[in-house]
Structures are given as C-alpha cells and as structure tokens.
C-alpha cells in the first residue's frame, strides 16, 4: 500500500487537481491520499492558508472580515466551476467559516487553528467529491474520523501514539481515501494544527499508521537537489538519501520535506520518495534508512542557512572549572532559548543559535550570563551563516574537511568556526552571512564538479 501526499502547488487549481487524480487513479496501491490547501497558482499569488491567516487577523482586530472570507470562498469557487461541479460545497464553506468565527472569536489561538484547518479540509472534500463524480469510488475522511489524535498545543500539535492503532483501520476501506493534511483533533476535542508545512507530517503519520510500503510526497520538483538551485546552476538531483541526512539538510534550509515528518517514518523504516506532480515518471529522491555509498555520492548535499547569532564566551582555565558550561546553559534554559551548535576550546566556548531565539531579550540574557557565570569576556556576533556539508559517506573517507576548507579558501571566505558531530554525518562551518552564497557555489564545485572526494 502507498500513502501519497500532494503539496499546495499540486492542488492549487482544477488543472493540477486533475493531474493529482490521474496519478492517484493510475495505481491501485495508491489507496490513501493526503492533500494540502490550495497553494500559489503563480508567483504573486497568495496561499489559501495565508488568506485564512488574514481572515483571522481581521476577526481578532474586530474589523470587517467579509472581503477576506469571500476571497477564500472564491479560491474554491474557481476550482469548482472549472471542474463543472455543483456549488453546494461553497455554502458549507461559508457556514463553517462563520460558525468557527462565532464560536471561537474569544479564544484566538483556537480560532486560528480552526480557520487554518479549513484550507486542507475543504480541499479534501472537494477532491473526494470530484473523483466520485468521475466514477472512482472515493471517500473523504476527516482527521478526527481517521483517528489522528494530537497534543493540545495550538499550531504545534504532536501526534499521540494511540493514533497509530486507529489509523491501521483505514486499511479496511475499499474506496480510495482522501484525508486533509495539517491538523488533528486533541483529546479536548479541539482542532489543532501542526507547524506550517505540516501536511507532510500528516502524510508521514498516516503512512506509519497503515504500515504503508512507501510514502510518496508529491511536490513541484523532481526530487531534492544537492544544493539550492537558485544559487547553483542545475544542481544534481539526489537519488537516495538517508533519514539522518535529510534531517540535517532540512534543518539547514532544504525546504522540500518537513523535518518533523521524518520522525514517524524512520521508526518503522518506511521509505519516502519525493516526486513531481507535473512529471510523475521522473524517478525522484528516495529517503531511506540506508543507502549505497559510492565515490560520487559521499556528500549528499550542501546547504547554507542564515540568521544565526553567536555568543562568544572566554574564561581563563575554563576547562578546569567543573559546571561552568552548565551555568551558561542554565541561563539559556531560563529564557527557553534552544541553541544549535557549541564549538569550544580550552578557555572559550561559542554558542550558536537561531537569531529569533534571542531577539528582543539579548541584553537581559547577556547581563544574566555576566552576573551568574563570572565570565572573563562575553561578546555577541550577529549575521552568522551556517554552512552544512552533509553525507553518510564522510566517516569512511579522509579529507572531507580539507576539501571544504580548500574550497572556502579558494573563494576567499573567512572561516569563523567549525564543528563536526560524533556521528560524522555533517560538518558545520560558521561564516559571514555575506559569504553564504559564494560558499555554497564554491563547495559544490569542489565536491561534485572538480576534486570530488573519493572513497
């Protein structure tokens, strides 16, 4: 059995929906389909999910929201009319939006989740109805009926284990099933959404629940590129990548697949394939537990993410002071700041975090560290970029760091820090944000077009 998920651009208009259903109906094993909300139809367009956020903002500010609501209804009306379907769903959409607004307007975060869920929910109903009208027995299943039970944290739902047993029962249906992505139901009976881009997470949960043989994630590219195509011209498409590599690359800015979606899959080793709705015959990228390593794929991918802040701390004889790092991390914990890397020397330590973690309270955090940790020097650097070189093959070969530092030196890039985890699956280089693109280009050239690393 295959579980297939189609992202926003794949279900953004009637033509795309027809492509999706051709793919779904062409293969008997594609029993369960997860859909996103209609995404952008062209570059300047607005995603339905963002239209729903605009509607929410109007309601919360007690402003006239009717035109925002109508824009949303119009998105579905356009699709319905192009597919020559009946208008009945449009009044359901209107009534549902109004009833959420009426009942939840005094509970803003509940209202936001309820409205956000509408994007995928209406789309799933529409697509199921259309497929039925084309003679393919199809059933819409809401996340509640499917058994997707989640924690009660608005916009940040996490799946509860009890869901998996319930989801297994979906195997009993004979029809094709269409399930909306992006949300579940909490035990308190509230609609709760996953983080943005979370339809991938629903797909992964359902794939694990029904013990699918494969989870197909359809998007608008024919797989995952080894580097950002807006930086590197025609980068290679990755044919196979491991869950761990994918996690590292998604962390560092590869947006094709949600990193939280890997968790349910890797537990049961369900493979994922990233495919293109517009070119379904392209092979795509497979994400699995293991992969074949050869001389051309030692490094899976290169990415560079911006907007990091570093705290540089110096303390003479730091290595001899038991508990010094714990005190510093204690301050971060008090502010609920999570950090990403911590390269250190004998008398110094750098703590690297996403800038948004410390924004608006930097001064207080620095003061607390000064007061509580008796540091000799404390400085902060903004505008750090993190270059990540990711590849399972690196632990088998000598000289990866050498190749990369060579590529960076060649491009005249100052290397501020370096960090390699014990698993040797990735190496992180801290560089100035202005060098980010140059660094990706230069390391890509070295790793794939020139002095490629050999096993």
Residue nearer to ligand ASP on the CB measure, 115 or 128: 115
Binding to ligand ASP, residues 72-131 (CB under 6 A): 119-120
Rounded to the nearest whole angstrom, what is the least distance from the CB of residue 121 to ligand ASP in the complex? Answer: 11
Question: CB-based contacts of 295: which residues, under 8 Å, 6+ apart?
Answer: 452, 453, 454, 455
Please say whether the beta carbons of 390 and 249 come within 8 A: yes
The dihedrals phi and psi of 271, each to the nearest 5 degrees, come to: -70, 155
Window of 84-92, 194-202, 260-268, 375-383 that interacts with ligand ASP by CB under 6 A? 194-202
Q: Which of 201, 140, 193, 205 is nearest to 167 (CA)?
A: 205
Options 125, 138, 199, 309; binder of ligand ASP; rule CB under 6 A: 199
8 marked among binding-site residues: yes
Options 20, 21, 32, 37; binder of ligand ASP; rule CB under 6 A: 37
Please say whether the beta carbons of 313 and 239 come within 8 A: no
Rounded to the nearest whole angstrom, what is the least distance from the CB of residue 251 to ligand ASP in the complex? Answer: 18
120 marked among binding-site residues: yes
Which residue reads 């015959």 in tokens?
281
Residue nearer to ligand ASP on the CB measure, 200 or 216: 200
Q: Which of 369, 384, 394 is nearest to 435 (CA)?
A: 384
49 marked among binding-site residues: yes
Rounded to the nearest whole angstrom, what is the least distance from the CB of residue 7 to ligand ASP in the complex? Answer: 6
| Residue 366 in tokens | 């620095």
Told to check if 36 binds ligand ASP by CB under 6 A, we report: yes
What number of residues does the chain have?
455
CA distance 89 to 126: 7
Please say whether the beta carbons of 218 and 7 come within 8 A: yes
Told to check if 393 binds ligand ASP by CB under 6 A, we report: no
Told to check if 197 binds ligand ASP by CB under 6 A, we report: yes
Told to check if 2 binds ligand ASP by CB under 6 A, we report: no
Told to check if 184 binds ligand ASP by CB under 6 A, we report: no
63-76: b or e for each residue (b if 16 or more CB lie within 10 Å)?
eebeebbeebbebb
| Residue 453 in tokens | 């690393």
Told to check if 8 binds ligand ASP by CB under 6 A, we report: yes
Rounded to the nearest whole angstrom, what is the least distance from the CB of residue 280 to ligand ASP in the complex? Answer: 19
Could you tell me where the DSSP H helices lie in 30-137? 48-60, 66-82, 88-104, 108-133
Options 143, 180, 181, 223; binder of ligand ASP; rule CB under 6 A: 181
Binding site listing: 5-8, 49, 120, 219-220
Annotated binding site for ATP: 5-8, 219-220
- Interface residues with ligand ASP (CB under 6 A) are 8, 36-37, 47, 49, 119-120, 181-182, 196-200
């Amino acid at each position: 059995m295959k579980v297939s998920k189609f992202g926003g651009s794949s279900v953004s208009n009637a033509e795309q929906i027809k492509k999706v259903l051709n793919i779904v109906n062409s293969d008997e094993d594609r029993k369960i389909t997860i859909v996103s909300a209609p995404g952008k139809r062209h570059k300047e367009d607005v995603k339905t999910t963002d239209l729903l956020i605009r509607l929410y903002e109007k309601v919360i500010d007690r402003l006239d929201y009717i035109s925002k609501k109508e824009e949303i209804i119009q998105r579905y009306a356009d699709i319905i009319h192009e597919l020559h379907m009946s208008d009945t769903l449009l009044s359901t959409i209107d009534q549902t939006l109004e009833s959420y607004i009426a009942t939840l307007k005094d509970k803003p975060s509940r209202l936001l989740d309820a409205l956000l869920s509408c994007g995928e929910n209406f789309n799933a109903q529409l697509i199921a109805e259309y497929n039925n009208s084309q003679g393919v027995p199809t059933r819409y299943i809401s996340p509640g009926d499917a058994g997707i039970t989640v924690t009660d944290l608005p916009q940040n739902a996490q799946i509860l284990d009890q869901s998996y047993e319930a989801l297994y029962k979906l195997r009993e249906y004979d029809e094709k099933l269409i399930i909306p992505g992006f949300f579940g139901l909490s035990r308190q009976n509230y609609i709760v959404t996953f983080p943005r881009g979370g339809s991938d997470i629903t797909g992964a949960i359902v794939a694990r629940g029904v013990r699918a043989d494969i989870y197909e994630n359809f998007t608008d590219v024919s797989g995952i590129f080894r580097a950002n195509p807006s930086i590197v011209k025609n980068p290679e498409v990755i044919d196979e990548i491991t869950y761990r590599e994918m996690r590292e690359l998604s962390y560092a800015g590869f947006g094709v697949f949600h990193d939280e979606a890997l968790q349910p899959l890797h537990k049961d080793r369900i493979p994922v394939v990233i495919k293109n709705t517009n070119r379904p015959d392209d092979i795509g990228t497979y994400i699995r537990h293991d992969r074949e390593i050869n001389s051309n794929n030692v490094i899976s991918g290169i990415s560079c993410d911006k907007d990091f802040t570093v705290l540089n701390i110096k303390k003479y004889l730091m290595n001899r002071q038991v508990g010094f790092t714990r005190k510093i991390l204690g301050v971060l914990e008090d502010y609920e700041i999570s950090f990403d890397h911590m390269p250190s020397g004998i008398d110094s330590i750098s703590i690297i975090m996403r800038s948004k973690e410390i924004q608006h309270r930097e001064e207080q955090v620095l003061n607390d560290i000064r007061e509580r940790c008796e540091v000799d020097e404390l400085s902060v650097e903004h505008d750090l970029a993190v270059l990540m070189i990711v590849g399972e093959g690196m632990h088998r070969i000598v000289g990866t760091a050498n190749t990369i530092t060579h590529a960076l030196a060649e491009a005249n890039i100052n290397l501020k820090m370096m960090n390699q985890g014990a698993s040797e699956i990735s190496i992180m280089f801290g560089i100035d944000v202005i060098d980010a693109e140059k660094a990706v280009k230069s390391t890509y050239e070295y790793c794939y077009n020139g002095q490629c690393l050999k096993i």
